[in-house]
């Protein structure tokens, strides 16, 4: 037993075994997403900038646990995603899924039906920018099936 314990400690020190770590991202993970009914899996939301009459946009950090994703949805005024951590997915209806990584920017045209979320084996975080408020409304649609996601 003592030999096994020494081996485990040595592997941890050398990096041979990795422990689950918090996703490294530049902004606070936030609280459980209050819009969770429009997502599959667990997500967190941290509001960075609330809409006002000067900037007419809403900016938030959204963190997705492994495999978590939005429902299909659209924004009447478009959306911009800035990927800050992990590996994710983005898909516009009728198009191929795009793999996303830190530093990627996704400009989603107004009324494009789409979904986004984490890869099956990676947490994921992005900044969501909703421009053109207050006229930019989000229409939530059906969940993304496991077949569509894979």
| pTM of the predicted model as reported, rounded to 2 decimal places | 0.84
In the predicted structure, residue 106 carries a pLDDT above the cut 80? yes
Distance CA 100, CA 47 (A): 22
What is the mean pLDDT of the segment spanning 68-76? 98
CATH number (2.60.120.10, 3.30.750.210, 3.40.50.300, 2.40.40.20) of 25-149 reads 2.60.120.10
What is the mean pLDDT of the segment spanning 67-90? 98
* Residue 126 dihedral angles phi and psi, to the nearest 5°: -145, 155
Distance CA 92, CA 111 (A): 10
Please give the mean pLDDT across all residues of the chain. Answer: 89
Question: So what's the pLDDT on residue 22?
Answer: 80
Distance CA 140, CA 98 (A): 21
Q: pLDDT band at residue 20, thresholds of 50, 70 and 90?
A: low
Question: So what's the pLDDT on residue 9?
Answer: 46
């Amino acid at each position: 037993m003592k030999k096994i314990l020494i081996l485990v400690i040595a592997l941890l020190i050398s990096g041979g075994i990795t422990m689950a770590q918090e996703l490294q991202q530049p902004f606070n993970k936030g609280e459980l997403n209050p819009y969770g009914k429009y997502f599959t899996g667990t997500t967190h939301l941290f509001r960075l900038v609330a809409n006002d009459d000067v900037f007419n946009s809403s900016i938030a950090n959204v963190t997705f646990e492994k495999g978590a994703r939005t429902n299909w949805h659209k924004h009447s005024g478009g959306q911009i995603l800035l990927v800050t951590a992990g590996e994710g997915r983005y898909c516009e209806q009728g198009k191929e899924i795009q793999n996303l990584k830190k530093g990627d920017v996704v400009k989603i045209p107004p009324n494009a039906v789409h979904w986004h979320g984490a890869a099956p084996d990676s947490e994921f975080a992005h900044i969501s920018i909703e421009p053109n408020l207050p006229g930019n409304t989000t229409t939530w649609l059906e969940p993304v099936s496991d077949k569509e996601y894979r």
